[in-house]
């Protein structure tokens, strides 16, 4: 079965009517479209109001951009010293070996940069990126992202892991991927084996936004990673109409923990072009996150974060639970909303 790469492929697969396909033609010229055979089967019979379908199948709403939206919403370009590297915090860098993905999420924060033309770094460019890491001894953690790094061959992934393991200052290789949820069959023993190397701790952050994504195939892929000794973190985007309600977030974070994935970040959506229909207000996000405290355990709580536009990095976005009210006295709120006085 072949991957789907265009609106006409989606129409041919019965995932859109020809009329619905016509309505997103211009959107699909601007923002890439793709689905794996696994997702094609998973989405069969679902429609625009379904939380999985809406993440992947283009909608006419993407044609609408707002004045605050940007081409490079988190300022990656401004912080790139060599091709493939983004260095924003002293102790960690992003390494972006390719700009292609197995699927193109409709709310993607890098949607103006990712796509099927987003070729991989050449061998020379990869060598230069690795040399940058080797030369900067403050770099302790290398976050391999993209695009989706798990689209690389095991041979190329092994090359990255091996190279990093020869750099004494690099302690952690962290891969960020959508593949476990988008193409779980790709997470084979050979691929997993390529991600680890002596002297290096390999972690993976998996991008999952809804409990329905945790199908038996996805759960099995997550188990293979954990059982190979790779701790898993969950990355979720808060998405209007998809997971922006307490029950959906509770089910997702419980589902992740149940599958040995620690919820790491809940991202407030970035100001990517044509994504305003996916964005809640920060106040709505804060209220949802506050409500989670009483619903699920600490293990199930991610940090709600905002990536500050312009390349200033991420900042915790949750509302405060504690407010100073003068002279060393604080008003502390508990999970039921009752406030208490604290002096200390
Ligand atoms: C998000 C990000 C990181 C990783 O940050 P953590 O908060 O450690 O997950 C590193 N570099 C850049 C440029 C980033 O945007
Ligand atoms: S997998 Fe990540 S980078 Fe690729 S389209 Fe989805 S959000 Fe964007």
Q: Does the reported pTM lie above 0.95?
A: yes
Q: What pLDDT score was predicted for residue 72?
A: 87
300 is annotated as contributing to ligand binding: no
Q: What is the mean pLDDT of the chain?
A: 96
pLDDT tens-digit series, residues 101-148: 999 999 999 999 898 876 789 999 999 999 999 999 999 999 999 899
Architecture of domain 64-319: Alpha-Beta Barrel (3.20)
- What is the helix (H) or strand (E) element at residue 304, kind and residue range? strand 303-307
**Phi, psi angle pair for 282, to nearest 5°:** -60, -40
pLDDT tens-digit series, residues 218-264: 999 999 999 999 999 999 999 999 999 999 999 999 999 999 999 99
Looking from the CA of residue 93, the nearest atom of ligand 1 is: 11
Q: What pLDDT score was predicted for residue 148?
A: 97
Distances in whole angstroms, Cα of residue 293 to Cα of each of 87, 149, 301: 33, 33, 8
Catalytic residue among 92, 156, 224, 254: 92
Residue 109 Cα to ligand 2 middle (Å): 7
Q: What pLDDT score was predicted for residue 77?
A: 83
| Boundaries of every domain in the chain | 1-61, 64-319
Q: What pLDDT score was predicted for residue 117?
A: 73
Preceding peptide of 147 cis, ω within 30°: yes
Q: What pLDDT score was predicted for residue 71?
A: 86
**Phi, psi angle pair for 79, to nearest 5°:** -110, 25
Catalytic residue among 89, 244, 293, 330: 89
Stretches in the chain below the pLDDT threshold 50 = none
Q: What pLDDT score was predicted for residue 185?
A: 98
Catalytic annotation present for 300? no
Q: What pLDDT score was predicted for residue 318?
A: 97
Lining residues, ligand 2, CB within 6 Å? 101, 104-105, 108, 110, 114, 146-148, 178, 207
DSSP 195-252: T--TT-EEEEEEE---GGG--HHHHHHHHHHHHTT--EEEEEE--TTTT-SHHHHHHH
Q: What pLDDT score was predicted for residue 58?
A: 97
């Amino acid at each position: 079965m072949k991957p789907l790469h265009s609106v006409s492929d989606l129409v041919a697969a019965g995932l859109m009517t020809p009329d619905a396909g016509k309505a997103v033609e211009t959107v699909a010229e601007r923002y890439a479209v793709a689905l794996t055979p696994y997702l094609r089967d998973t989405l069969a019979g679902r429609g625009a109001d379904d939380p999985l379908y809406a993440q992947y199948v283009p909608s006419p709403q993407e044609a609408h951009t707002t004045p605050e939206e940007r081409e490079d919403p988190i300022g990656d370009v401004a912080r790139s010293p060599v091709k493939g590297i983004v260095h924003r915090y002293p102790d960690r860098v992003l390494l972006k070996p390719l700009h292609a993905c197995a699927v193109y999420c409709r709310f993607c924060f890098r949607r103006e940069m990712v796509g099927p033309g987003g070729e991989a770094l050449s061998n020379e460019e990869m060598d230069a990126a690795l040399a940058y890491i080797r030369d900067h001894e403050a770099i302790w953690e290398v976050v391999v992202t993209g695009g989706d790094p798990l689209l690389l061959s095991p041979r190329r992934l092994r090359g990255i892991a091996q190279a990093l393991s020869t750099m004494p200052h690099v302690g952690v290789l962290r891969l960020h991927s959508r593949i476990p949820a988008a193409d779980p069959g790709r997470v084979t023993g050979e691929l997993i084996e390529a991600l680890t190397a002596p002297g290096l701790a390999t972690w993976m952050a998996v991008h999952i936004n809804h409990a329905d994504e945790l199908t038996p195939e996805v759960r099995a892929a997550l188990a293979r990673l954990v059982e190979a000794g790779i701790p898993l973190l969950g990355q979720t985007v808060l998405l209007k109409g998809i997971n922006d309600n307490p029950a959906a977030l509770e089910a997702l974070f419980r589902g992740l923990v149940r599958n040995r994935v620690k919820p790491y970040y809940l991202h407030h959506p970035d100001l990517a072009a044509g994504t305003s229909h996916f964005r809640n207000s920060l106040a709505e996000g804060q209220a949802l996150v506050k409500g989670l405290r009483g619903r699920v355990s600490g293990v199930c709580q991610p940090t709600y974060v905002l990536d500050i536009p312009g390349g200033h990095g991420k900042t915790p976005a949750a509302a405060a639970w504690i407010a100073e009210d003068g002279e060393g006295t604080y008003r502390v709120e508990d999970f039921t909303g009752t406030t208490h006085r604290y002096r200390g």
